[in-house]
Amino acid sequence: MSTPNASALKSVEPPALTRIGRFVITRELGRGSIGAVYLARDPIIDRDVAIKTFNPKLTAVEKRNHEEQLINEARAAGRLSHPHIVNILDAHSDKGVTYIVMEYLQGRELSRLLARQHDFEFAEIATIIGKVAEALDYAHKNGVVHRDIKPANIFMVGNSQPKILDFGIARAPNRVADQYANTGDAPYTLFHNNLLGTPTYMSPEQACGQPADERSDVYSLGAVMYEMLTGRRPFQEKETEKLLRMIALKMPAPPHELNPEVPEALSYIAMRAMSKQPEKRYQCGQDMANDLKRFLVKGKRARSKKGAVDDEQEDIEHHEPVPAKKNMFWVGILAAAAVLAAGAAFLFLR
């Protein structure tokens, strides 16, 4: 299962475990400073499962925060049943240890494939992103907004079979202790991303500290697609404040301009998903998936690895993303909000 990148986090050695509840621990699958994921055996059903738990050595405040995230993940993902969303099987507390039990997946995170510069075929990219888009659409229709879509939270099982992971900061009807429900997502989301990674895949509204809805997940998925097409992230900046400003105000170069081999139809889909204004994006994951299906159906002759530029993009409903500079009022609002959000994040993380 997906775990925080241990090299990017301060490692804390957890105690050796042989059992959690009724589950017999087989081995550790991964670990970060927050906790660990174990491969375990369910003796009653006689099957392998993955168990996610947090480190008991955390402080009381850290324990409470991460325990709420863990329970929230179980409640958010546990209400969903989709072939491209990880199945949550159980959640419990036993002898002071809170844990969730998930299906055991064999494969690797999309982030690892990208780090190894895996060479995706364009049809493969369209297939993977289309399946994730449909899974997000299903989650959204069930009242769950993920809010943290990124390559590390997309687990690849076999070829072109993605599974969405980590609903720890998802917004759902039964979310635990959502103390920021009336004040926006900024403190919780920035705090979470500071621990688990940079906010590279955040939507402009998240970067500005505004509430995130379904279209925010669409933006993040577009950013993932952009990276798969180009081999680089839409915005590359180490300083959080500058990165948030870029996300809020700038449009990256279209993928086909960075790599002429990228079909313009796929380039357009990624850019539309990443429009600065939510109303200019795909309004639901299914709409994005439908355009990807059109590309696959009508572009069979261009499915060879990094094949010829697709000439069927005109069959995809064309609504070019509006450059930020064409709407100065909206840009001004975002600029002010970005500065405030970045300042708040800086003070919070000091």
Q: What are the tens digits of pLDDT across the range 53-66?
A: 887 677 778 777 77
The band of 316, judged by pLDDT with boundaries at 50, 70 and 90, is: low
H/E/C letters for each residue in 152-176? HHEEECCCCCEEECCCCCCECCCCC
Percent of the chain past pLDDT 90, that is, above it, reads 53
The band of 153, judged by pLDDT with boundaries at 50, 70 and 90, is: very high
The phi and psi torsions of 319 (rounded to 5 degrees) equal: -135, 90
Report residue 273 as tokens.
């998903």
Which of 241 and 188 is assigned the larger pLDDT? 241
Closest CA to 84 of 240, 285, 332, 299: 285
Among 108-112, 173-177, 256-260, the least confident range: 173-177
Q: Domains of the chain, with CATH numbers?
A: 6-11+18-103 (3.30.200.20), 108-173+180-349 (1.10.510.10)
Judged against a pLDDT cut of 80, whether residue 246 lies above it is answered with yes
**H or E segment to which residue 221 belongs:** helix 214-230
Q: What confidence score (pLDDT) does residue 56 get?
A: 67
Judged against a pLDDT cut of 80, whether residue 122 lies above it is answered with yes
The band of 231, judged by pLDDT with boundaries at 50, 70 and 90, is: very high
The band of 311, judged by pLDDT with boundaries at 50, 70 and 90, is: very low
Average pLDDT for 84-98: 88
Average pLDDT for 114-124: 94
| Cβ partners under 8 Å of residue 308, min gap 6 | 301, 302
Q: What is the DSSP string of 241-307?
A: HHHHHHHHH--PPPHHHH-TTS-HHHHHHHHHHT-SSGGGS-SSHHHHHHHHHHHHHHTGGGTTTT-
Which of 91-95, 194-198, 229-233 is the most confident on average? 229-233
Which of the residues are catalytic? Answer: 148
Q: What are the tens digits of pLDDT across the range 249-287?
A: 999 999 999 999 999 999 999 999 999 999 999 999 999
- Please count the helices (runs of H) and the strands (runs of E) in the chain: 11, 9
Residue type for 111, please?
S
Q: What confidence score (pLDDT) does residue 235 get?
A: 95
User: Exposed, middle or buried: residue 178 (CB in 10 Å: 0-12, 13-18, 19+)?
Assistant: middle
The band of 310, judged by pLDDT with boundaries at 50, 70 and 90, is: very low
* Cβ atoms of residues 237 and 280 within 8 Å: no
Q: What confidence score (pLDDT) does residue 347 get?
A: 36
Q: What confidence score (pLDDT) does residue 280 get?
A: 97
Q: What confidence score (pLDDT) does residue 71 get?
A: 85
Q: Could you give the CA distance from residue 86 to residue 257 in angstroms, rounded to a whole number?
A: 35
Which of 301 and 290 is assigned the larger pLDDT? 290
The phi and psi torsions of 226 (rounded to 5 degrees) equal: -55, -45
Sign of the Cα pseudo-torsion (265, 267, 268, 272, in order)? positive
The band of 301, judged by pLDDT with boundaries at 50, 70 and 90, is: low
Judged against a pLDDT cut of 80, whether residue 80 lies above it is answered with yes
Which of 233 and 190 is assigned the larger pLDDT? 233
* Cβ atoms of residues 241 and 342 within 8 Å: yes
Q: What are the tens digits of pLDDT across the range 2-56?
A: 444 444 434 444 446 789 999 999 999 988 767 889 999 999 999 999 999 887 6
Judged against a pLDDT cut of 90, whether residue 293 lies above it is answered with yes
Q: What confidence score (pLDDT) does residue 98 get?
A: 87
Closest CA to 139 of 122, 164, 114: 164
Q: What confidence score (pLDDT) does residue 172 get?
A: 78
Average pLDDT for 85-101: 88
Closest CA to 338 of 266, 253, 242, 214: 242
Report residue 83 as tokens.
């072939």
Judged against a pLDDT cut of 60, whether residue 337 lies above it is answered with no
Q: What confidence score (pLDDT) does residue 278 get?
A: 97
The chain-wide mean pLDDT, for the chain, equals 80
The region that residue 142 occupies, defined by phi over 0 for left and psi between -120 and 50 for alpha, beta otherwise, is alpha
